[in-house]
Amino acid sequence: MRIVQLANFYGPRSGGLRTALHHLGAGYAAAGHEVVLVVPGPAHADEHLSPNVRRITLPAPRLPGTGGYRAVDPWRVRTLLDHLRPDRLEVSDRLTLRGMGKWASAHGVPSVVISHERLDRLLEQFLLPPALARSGADWANTRMAASYDTVVCTTDFARQEFDRIGARNVTRVPLGVDLHTFTPTRHDRSLKRDLAQGADALLIHCGRLSPEKHVERSVDTAATLHAAGHRIRLVIAGDGPRREALERRAAGLPVTFLGFVNQRTEVATLLATADISLAPGPHETFGLAALEALASGTPVVVSASSALREIVHPGCGAAVADDATAFAGAVNTLLDNPERTRRQAARARAEQYPWQTAVDGMLTALQAT
């Protein structure tokens, strides 16, 4: 069948969404299906990523304050869909493309929407009172769920806002991790020595420097540990609209900003070389970067307010309260464990999330609609 994937917030420097779309698309193609990925960009493009995976880029304006992300005009997408004639439609967007379920229904095309974020949490992030954020999300989610055949959530945390409204067309399909690229064998002692700059422990924060990721908590964790006399260094790999503010916050602290790291193998080496990874974002509905750290043999300290509490178990990491003191305490506890033991536990946990399982789950959802 011809599966058309639609997404916004996709670009050369996008993270988890791009990774997920590429791995799912490659899996669909390996199963014998034709895949067309439709994404926004600065100009029109039509290219083949592999023999059975085609990517069409539609011109779209930048969204202010997002660090370069774009959102495509839904009219352009509907026009393209009329030409592509998909057998299945998979939508990974809750902004301009959220209404594509109605197009699919009108054209007799089974449709799936993947909920990559919690709408109620996003509305709260932008300073709406909790009750108003919840009611607004419930209204929008009720309409969206009704317009698609299936809503896919990657975790129970992501599913909660749909269970709250009584949606019955929701299924859970966890995402996966590239267990070949992200592996403990990439640990590089020489790189660790260079990055640590004399510190005893190397911490890493890997991801986009945007408000919802709460990167300042990683900086504050480094500050708390440093103030307590611990010889640590935090390396931040990533870029985004919060970088300048974060650099000011980290002034005088043992924190290094690497900027955007383009090659996935370089990211994998960084993660495998660090002692502890930090993932403080409280709104994560899955957390691919944290799972990539686990696959690299590096324990992760995560926000207990996020979906990562479902993935990060004691031994391979810790899920703690949203404050620097709790994060710093968890870092110290993990570092007290034997290195071999904590690295083996991290890798073992990640091995429970191969991409093939995610692909199989998504194909079941697509074929069942």
Overall number of domains in the chain? 2
Whether residue 292 is found in the same domain as residue 364: no
3-state secondary structure at position 186: helix
Whether residue 13 is found in the same domain as residue 131: yes
Whether residue 171 is found in the same domain as residue 122: yes
Is residue 199 scored above 80 in pLDDT? yes
Give the pLDDT confidence of 154-185 residue by residue, as tens digits: 999 999 999 999 999 999 999 999 999 999 99
Whether residue 89 is found in the same domain as residue 235: no
Query: Cα 56 to chain center, whole Å?
Result: 22
Whether residue 196 is found in the same domain as residue 277: yes
Q: Looking at residue 69, what is its pLDDT?
A: 86
**Joined tokens for residue 23:** 């791995």
pLDDT grade, residue 224 (50/70/90)? very high
pLDDT grade, residue 243 (50/70/90)? very high
Give the pLDDT confidence of 49-76 residue by residue, as tens digits: 999 999 999 999 988 877 778 999 999 9
Is residue 346 scored above 90 in pLDDT? yes
Is residue 127 scored above 80 in pLDDT? no
Strands (E), 162-238: 170-172, 201-206, 232-237
Whether residue 363 is found in the same domain as residue 295: no
Mean pLDDT along residues 81-102: 95
Whether residue 241 is found in the same domain as residue 162: no
Q: Looking at residue 125, what is its pLDDT?
A: 81
Whether residue 139 is found in the same domain as residue 239: no
Q: Looking at residue 59, what is its pLDDT?
A: 95
Q: Which of 90, 172, 101, 91 is nearest to 142 (CA)?
A: 101
Q: Looking at residue 64, what is its pLDDT?
A: 83
Angstrom distance (rounded) from CA 153 to CA 163 = 11
Whether residue 335 is found in the same domain as residue 364: no
Whether residue 229 is found in the same domain as residue 263: yes
Angstrom distance (rounded) from CA 344 to CA 85 = 47
Mean pLDDT along residues 4-25: 89
Render 70-83 in DSSP notation, one character per residue. B---HHHHHHHHHH
Mean pLDDT along residues 333-345: 97
Exposed/middle/buried for residue 241 (C-beta within 10 Å: 0-12, 13-18, 19+):
middle
Q: Which of the two residues, 369 and 348, has the higher pLDDT score? A: 348
Q: Looking at residue 303, what is its pLDDT?
A: 97
Q: Looking at residue 95, what is its pLDDT?
A: 86
Whether residue 346 is found in the same domain as residue 359: no
Query: Cα 72 to chain center, whole Å?
Result: 20
Percent of the chain whose predicted confidence (pLDDT) is above 90? 91
Range of the domain at 16: 2-176+354-368
pLDDT grade, residue 36 (50/70/90)? very high
Mean pLDDT of the chain: 95
Angstrom distance (rounded) from CA 101 to CA 112 = 8
Whether residue 115 is found in the same domain as residue 127: yes
Say if CB 254 and CB 233 are below 8 A apart.
yes
pLDDT grade, residue 225 (50/70/90)? very high
Q: Looking at residue 68, what is its pLDDT?
A: 77
CATH of residue 121's domain is 3.40.50.2000
